[in-house]
Amino acid sequence: MTGSYKRGNIPVYEDRYICIKCGKKIGKLDEGLHKKMINRGAEQWMCVDCLGEYIGVSREELLKKAEYFKKMGCTLF
Ligand SMILES: [Zn+2]
């Protein structure tokens, strides 16, 4: 084998999109909040529940924040 690969055959890193604490699948919202609240350059993220626990903010509060950031046109969401 030459080690060549097909262009367009881009691997999908599905397994990155799980919470690093509980293993739950996460979405763009979880990812965005994690980046916003902890580290913008993060490449692994926590779900809303674990993030809330980690920083001591309720899930409702985090979702409200996400809504707010979205309204402000934040590109992370
Ligand atoms: Zn979690």
Instruction: Provide the b/e sequence for 18-31 (b: ≥16 CB within 10 Å).
Output: bbeeeeeebeebbb
Q: How many CB atoms lie within 10 A of CB 35?
A: 17
To 5 degrees, how large is the angle CA 12–CA 69–CA 64? 100
For the residues 39-66, what does the mean pLDDT come to?
95
**C-alpha of residue 71 to centroid of ligand 1, in Å:** 25
Residue range of the domain that includes 67:
16-71
First to last CA, the chain: 42
9-52 confidence digits (pLDDT tens): 545 456 678 999 999 999 999 999 999 999 999 989 999 999 99
**C-alpha of residue 9 to centroid of ligand 1, in Å:** 30
In a domain, 56, yes or no: yes
In a domain, 76, yes or no: no
**C-alpha of residue 53 to centroid of ligand 1, in Å:** 9
The residue among 6 and 69 whose pLDDT is bigger is: 69
**C-alpha of residue 1 to centroid of ligand 1, in Å:** 41
Cβ pair 37, 66 in contact under 8 A:
no
In a domain, 26, yes or no: yes
In a domain, 4, yes or no: no
How many structural domains does the chain have? 1
In a domain, 3, yes or no: no
In a domain, 55, yes or no: yes
